[in-house]
Structure 1
């Protein structure tokens, strides 16, 4: 799946990032979404938030400095709402709830882990979830879950769901079932963005639902 512009005007872009494409330039030198969009627009863009390389879904970019300032402020104030859909291996503690953990990033391994709140390097991580459906596949329970982030920590959804006993399907970093490699795509997708337009001040809301990979188990359900 290639990247696709969902919305564009003089102030902002909402774009679908394909899985496997970096949000911005990294050490691999592979084409990243920010560079591709700047080539499309012919000028620099403001990067408001990011998605991990394996994760696909919606991102918003600013086309002007004023728009960047306004959207960044919405991010800081929690007014830019981001929702995800994911497929988990197993079940979370409840059908609907909140996970609160303290995470610490290991700079050497580029992994995060749940640690004590007393750890000086720990950062509080909060996410809200709702289990939409469960199915049995090859004697394993798969849970189709909606997630809303309250904080934005490194690998937050991946670490917290794994710690909660239900790691993400296809996650090669935090799900032991997939750490041997292969070409499976992680079943985590940023499907909804909601915010306020930086110029008109009118609310905007975009959705793009996942349907490939493990999401096919729940297609049309």
Structure 2
């Protein structure tokens, strides 16, 4: 009888600890995002969910919409949490993705993905580039933009820079409960604005 009670109490304590940790993480996330919003003159947006709330940070910077948000891919044991930052170009008909060369890009090539090159050996060796407008993007990736890409830390191999769904965005594994993730995403904003400039120039040229 006592043994069964100990087991029940142990199970209850385990689930109680999980709930407590989830509450703490939720509170840290909100606190971190409030500080992020204040630094950039943005606003915290709370979206009610069945088991709490999701948060994002949104607003306008340099005349463009900016947002920080999270999403998940996969399910079960393969479920991955992503933290993302995005800048919305004022107009675009361009799509692209740039990611570090590595195991993932080799797999992509094996399954038929095609990349473009820009004629800069160091950049072409370091970055896998795809787009729906190869000639335009080859010309638009100016030396100063390529230099910013080359300066990006290699630790973020799980992330990519892409223009999709109307947003120039970068995402990496993680959550906003971790200040280091937020700090890294903040450093991406200047490059994302540069890429939004490229997207807008492409849209203007296509009219």
- TM-score higher than 0.5 here? no
Q: Higher Cα Rg: structure 1 or 2? A: 2
By relative contact order (CA 8 Å, sep 6+), the higher-ranking structure is: 2
TM-score normalised by length of structure 2: 0.26
- Structure (1/2) with the larger helix percentage: 2
